[in-house]
Structure 1
Amino acid sequence: MNIDYVARNYPLDDQIRTYTSDKLQKIAKFLEDPVEIRVTLEHEKHRYIADLHVAHRFGVIKANEENDDMYDAINLAVDKTEKQARRSRKKFRDKRRKADRNNGSQWPVEVLERASIGAGGSPRIVKKSVLSIKPMSIDEAALQLEDSKNDFVVFRDAASDQVSVLYKRRDQNYGLISPE
């Protein structure tokens, strides 16, 4: 963890550095190294401003707090940053778990076009497509099917978390194929 300090109209002494560094250790446990932190401390008339800028593997976290006391401003900014770091870490973990669970999110789907039957008397595959399977509701799939030129949509049902196919029927209604 690398901490850079910037002070504007405020004397930056070792006491405030160690206090801020100790508080920022709480954030480091949520984020993996390397973490770059810029702490800006300002004094304007009757208020103190603590501005934190944390660059880490998952993105950037910014927090800006004002108070009548510099230590309170630092505490508020660190608390806000810690909350954002937790949220960022949870979001990253959820994405990773979802990716692990859906590691086959692109399955080869064979699309058969109308073609003349081969010499053996059986239809042959004339086109093969790879479709990405996105989680969505049945209503969203119907909207996507209306906008699409295809006659079907392959999607992961958000309610049941199963792969389903929504297709256009000849009577202009929709059909849904889903596993048991």
Structure 2
Amino acid sequence: MKLVIQGKNIEITDAIRDYVNQKIEKAVNHFQNLTMEVDVHLSVARNPRINPKQTAEVTIYANGTIIRAEESSENLYASIDLVADKIARQLRKYKEKRNHKKNHGKPKEIEAEVLNEPPVVEDLIGDRTPELPAEVVRTKYFAMPPMTIEEALEQLQLVDHDFYMFCNSETGEINVIYERNHGGYGVLQPRKTNGNNSNGASRESGTKSQAANA
């Protein structure tokens, strides 16, 4: 198993490295046959007086599946303890689902919601001045093999996020599956249009707003 430890605004000392190795190896010990690579990202806020949280994030690459967990606390070692326990639960859940699929075949289809395109709003910002983030704080790259909506839902439940972007194997399009505020899951799918759409930004913003309130 390959273990990679990275830090942001923190020096990865030998003591921290040894503690991460001890905790993460214990967490994945019973899943060695599933685990190919483990990435650990430790970070602290630039100004601890404003934000004392210290975060431990673990991403595991297991046979084409990404399993992720993240925890924060005011103590880095406590965060490592919490995330190790969480990733162990995620791995156990993943293994149980794999075994269930082997024994019972393909799971039944889920009911996914496709959001309808909202009316075009001509002026979304009024007299406000649009502002972009000062900088891109992090960029992530990941493989996007085609998968069904059912497989994307399983992946969403493993990555510890409230949404998951995937390539729909039935349409070849990029979709987003997300947790709805009032329970259940929704799927964002692109609507095909004829020609160029000059109101693309407005439509996109409207769709995101609708998704957030769904």
The TM-score normalised by the length of structure 2 is 0.44
1:47 equivalenced with 2:53 (yes/no): yes
The answer to whether the Cα contact below 8 Å between 1:2 and 1:35 also exists between their aligned partners in 2 is: yes
1:24 equivalenced with 2:24 (yes/no): yes
Runs (4 or more) in structure 1 with deviation over 6 Å come to none
Residues of 1 paired with 2:75 and 2:88: CA distance? Answer: 20
Number of residue pairs the alignment of both structures matches: 103
CA RMSD, 1 decimal: 2.2
Deviations 1:135-165 (A, max 9, x none): 79xxxxxxxxxxxxxxxxxxxxxxxxxxxxx
More strand by share: 1
The answer to whether the Cα contact below 8 Å between 2:56 and 2:80 also exists between their aligned partners in 1 is: yes
Structure 2 counterpart SS, 1:38:
strand
Residues of 1 paired with 2:16 and 2:30: CA distance? Answer: 21
Q: Kindly tell me: are residues 31 and 91 of structure 1, through their superposed partners in 2, closer, same or farther at Cα, counting changes over 3 Å?
A: farther
Percent identical among aligned pairs is 23
Opposite residue 44 of structure 2, the aligned amino acid is: H
Q: Kindly tell me: are residues 15 and 97 of structure 1, through their superposed partners in 2, closer, same or farther at Cα, counting changes over 3 Å?
A: same
The answer to whether the Cα contact below 8 Å between 1:49 and 1:66 also exists between their aligned partners in 2 is: yes
The TM-score normalised by the length of structure 1 is 0.52
The answer to whether the Cα contact below 8 Å between 2:43 and 2:54 also exists between their aligned partners in 1 is: yes
Which structure 1 residue ranges, 5 or more long, are not aligned?
A: 103-133, 137-180
Residues of 1 paired with 2:65 and 2:89: CA distance? Answer: 14
Asked which structure has the greater CA Rg, the reply is 1
1:81 equivalenced with 2:87 (yes/no): yes
How far residue 3 of structure 1 moved from its aligned partner, in angstroms, is 0.8
The one of the two structures with greater contact order (alpha-carbon pairs below 8 A, sep at least 6) is 2
Which structure 2 residue ranges, 5 or more long, are not aligned?
A: 110-214
Structure 1 counterpart SS, 2:31:
coil
